[in-house]
Amino acid sequence: MKQGLTLEPIFSNNRKTFFRILELPFSALVEYLKEVPIGLSLDAELLNENETRLERISSDEKSLSEEIVENLVFARLDEETERIAEYIAYNIDDHGNMMVSIEEVCEKLKTDASVVNRAINAIKEVGPDGILEGKVVGFGVKSHYIEPDVIVNEDLSISVKEIGVRQPRHFTKLELKIFIFLNEAINYRRQLLLTLGQMLVRENTLFLSKKIEYPQKITMSQAAKSSNVSVSTVSRAISGKYVKTPIGIFQMRSFFGRNVEKDYLLKELSKIVAEDCKLTDKEIAERLRPKGIYISRRTVNKYRQIFYKLSKGND
């Protein structure tokens, strides 16, 4: 049963604030609301140091460069542009500044400025806000813990971390207006995350029960249509957020999008090729299906060629 969202932000001139509330993960949102200068009282499920529901991020936490390279697969670039984009990504500092010039990239990689600019635009498309402007935050300083926004319980029901705001005791008409807006924006955020979480479970019962190894992707357009919102709203809602499930903690974006992550696909393909290098692309595609990876023969061939090139490069 589809669950639509009909609530809209109540002030069009507060659009930026509304999307900020939607985009921020739980802990950051609590800190953001504390700064609102109208004396809000917050009821939030904050965790102290002795509680065990905080999840430690292991040493495989990604750098900003790694994060960008991993996401480049979503940009669907040609081989040359992807190669240049990866080079640029590894020459970006933790704040999002590009440490090489376009001219230096052209000279080093023997390409022209149009291709470099295409790669730069792709990085801006898949990277975090402020990328290539030196305004990225949260990288370079290791975060040891994460706090999931969405929780999939053992019975596969969904809960969302709650933030409640209480009306100030003494307020002006303007402050009351701000309070009403914030309260509705927070409730909208919660309802959308709940809807996306329910969608995530419906499409991934096999993955969550460990019957397949890879989560089933929900396209952004499918999620937007089912939730009665825009694709950009879905993108903001899952940005930087984690979901805790009975089988582990995952980034929400792991379940949304169209393509299988490049690194995962290459790893699984390499296992199959190592067992039998004479398999056809069609046969490899068939062997990937029980793992939950449904891709065409043409896509198998593309990543098979990438795998062979990487293998030769490591020899």
DSSP structure string for 227-262: HTS-HHHHHHHHTT-EEEETTEEEEGGGGBSSSPPH
The answer to whether residues 226 and 150 belong to one domain is yes
CA-to-CA distance for 234 and 224, rounded, in angstroms?
Answer: 6
Q: Could you read off the pLDDT tens digit of each residue along the chain, which spans 315 residues? A: 344 444 344 444 577 888 888 888 888 888 888 777 665 556 655 444 433 444 444 334 567 887 788 778 777 788 899 889 988 988 888 788 898 899 999 998 999 999 999 999 999 888 887 889 887 766 655 444 577 899 999 999 999 988 877 776 777 787 778 788 888 889 999 999 999 999 999 999 988 988 887 788 888 888 999 999 888 888 889 988 889 999 888 888 888 876 666 666 777 787 888 888 888 888 888 888 877 777 778 878 887 877 777 776 555
Q: Which single residue is written with the structure tokens 């004396």? A: 39
Pick from 189, 196, 257, 248: which is nearest to 221 by CA? 257
The answer to whether residues 207 and 69 belong to one domain is no
Q: What is the pLDDT of residue 194?
A: 96
CA-to-CA distance for 94 and 230, rounded, in angstroms?
Answer: 30
* 187 within some domain: yes
Diameter over CA atoms, the chain: 76
- Tell me the whole-structure pTM to 2 decimals: 0.57
CA-to-CA distance for 214 and 265, rounded, in angstroms?
Answer: 10
**Exposed/middle/buried for 269, CB within 10 Å: 0-12, 13-18, 19+?**
buried
Which CATH number characterizes residue 277's domain?
Answer: 1.10.10
* 93 within some domain: yes
Pick from 4, 30, 304, 5: which is nearest to 162 by CA? 30
CA-to-CA distance for 269 and 273, rounded, in angstroms?
Answer: 6
DSSP 92: B
Q: Domain count for the chain, please give it.
A: 3
Q: What is the pLDDT of residue 134?
A: 82
The answer to whether residues 298 and 230 belong to one domain is no
The answer to whether residues 89 and 180 belong to one domain is no
Pick from 239, 262, 260: which is nearest to 251 by CA? 239
The answer to whether residues 300 and 177 belong to one domain is no
* 108 within some domain: yes
* 91 within some domain: yes
Tokens of 99: 């440490």
The answer to whether residues 120 and 196 belong to one domain is no
Torsion of the alpha carbons at 265, 240, 246 and 212, rounded to the nearest 10: -20
**Domain ranges, residue 81:** 64-126
Tokens of 58: 């292991």
Q: Which single residue is written with the structure tokens 């969904």? A: 158
CA-to-CA distance for 141 and 153, rounded, in angstroms?
Answer: 31
The answer to whether residues 149 and 217 belong to one domain is yes
Q: What is the pLDDT of residue 142?
A: 46
Q: Which single residue is written with the structure tokens 């705001």? A: 165
